[in-house]
Amino acid sequence: MQSKLAQLVIFIYLVTLCIPTMSYKVEPLPDSYAGLGEGPHWDVARQSLYFVDLEAGCLLRYDYRQNKTYRTQIEGETFATFVLPVEGNDQEFAVGCGRRVVIVNWDGVSPVAKVVRTLFEVQSDFKENRLNDAKADPKGRLFFGTMRYVGDEFTHRHGELYRWEAGGNVTVVKSDVGISNGLAWDEKANKFYYIDTTDYEVKSYDYDFKTGVASNPKVIYNLRKDSPKTHILPDGMTIDTEGNLYVATFNGSTIYKVNPNTGECLLEIKLPTKQITSVAFGGPNLDILYVTTASKFDQPAPAGTTYKVTGLNAKGYPGVNLKL
Ligand SMILES: *[C@@H]1O[C@H](CO)[C@@H](O)[C@H](O)[C@H]1NC(C)=O
Ligand SMILES: *[C@@H]1O[C@H](CO)[C@@H](O)[C@H](O)[C@H]1NC(C)=O
Ligand SMILES: *[C@@H]1O[C@H](CO)[C@@H](O)[C@H](O)[C@H]1NC(C)=O
């Protein structure tokens, strides 16, 4: 029979185990500056984080083993809005350039990269629009959106969200979009999560992984309660293996870890700069959260630095390559 004292010791031990002792660490990646860092994507094969310097038309690659960042300018292009490795070809990447999705050839080292062909263009008549964030769903289908980049995206909602898969056509998933952003999928829960920054919220959709069709949108996290008064704008997003979302906030210095089932904020991850643009898990154990930032509107240093956050006690999924 256990003594009262032994029971008490076990009780204290269990209580201590359940207290979330969250001591995460935020560190910059070397030479990782981007005026508008976006689209972080972890590539398992190369143990590298790919991301873009959007308004400079540049691609970056942080090599984990070398602890070194490589940067390339895409010849003749103004924008590089996302970068996704093409499945089965280690020199080719799908990149958003203006309103075109193009294939860029890059060896991951050279300071100059070239567009080798255009896959397609969207919204040809909307000269003031450009592509924005994009990801491949777990089956390799491309989801990508647009936004207006001249004038006010909040009042002129000319953006759209699209789906494309090899051999098919571009399908509109959603119109009436201000700034198309954060994309995440949960195969266990059959969900797709989406952010239109100008709505100040995160939406969930029921997702059919066989067809790529998203339906039944619901608001699962609302930042409007703070914004527009405080201008905290939800931007990029990722998901961990437990199904929790990590929502980057432009102008908010914070990544919100959110349980999409309850809408509860589980953790606020604080960064030393305001414009947090996107997040992706990576590293050999997929337990490092990589974070891109921006230095728009004259934000002082360290704005634009790309960070790694460790000690979160969470794991994510590797980036999915695009199937062509
Ligand atoms: C990576 O390089 C930076 C800059 O030289 C250094 O501060 C950091 O400690 C290095 N990180 C690792 C994991 O080696
Ligand atoms: C793509 O669109 C064209 C023209 O509208 C149509 O003929 C073709 O069947 C479509 N292909 C697919 C795979 O949906
Ligand atoms: C950032 O927030 C401040 C208030 O905290 C606001 O004055 C400013 O307009 C916001 N910037 C953007 C780009 O929304």
Å from CA of 251 to ligand 2 middle: 42
Structural domain includes residue 204: yes
> Considering 137, 235, 240, 287, which one is annotated as catalytic?
235
Residue 91 lies in a domain: yes
Residue 218, domain member (yes or no): yes
Please tell me the distance from the alpha carbon of residue 175 to that of residue 180, in angstroms, as a whole number: 10
208 is catalytic: no
Domain that holds residue 272: 24-310
SS3 state of residue 5: helix
CATH number at residue 42: 2.120.10.30
Calculate the average pLDDT of the chain: 92
Cis peptide before 20 (omega within 30 of 0): no
Q: Which pLDDT does position 156 carry in this prediction?
A: 84
Tokens of residue 222, six digits: 């609302």
251 CA closest ligand 3 atom index:
1
In a domain, 319, yes or no: no
121 annotated as ligand-binding: no
130 in a labelled binding site = yes
85 within domain boundaries: yes
3 state DSSP class of 294: strand
pTM for the model stands at: 0.92
Residue nearest to atom 11 of ligand 1 (CA): 67
Query: How many folded domains does the chain comprise?
Result: 1
User: Residue 169: nearest ligand to its CA?
Assistant: 2
Q: What is the DSSP string of 35-49?
A: TBEEEEEEETTTTEE
> Is 190 within any annotated ligand binding site?
no
Flag whether 13 is in a domain: no
CA 108: distance to chain centroid? 20
Has residue 318 been placed in a domain?
Answer: no
Q: Judge whether residue 8 has pLDDT over 60.
A: no
Q: Whose CA is nearest to atom 10 of ligand 1?
A: 67
Residue 135 has which token pair?
């990801």
> pLDDT band at residue 6, thresholds of 50, 70 and 90?
low
Q: Is 168 in the pocket of ligand 2 (CB under 6 A)?
A: yes
Q: Which is nearest to 261 in space by CA: 237, 236, 244?
A: 244
Q: What is the pLDDT of residue 69?
A: 98
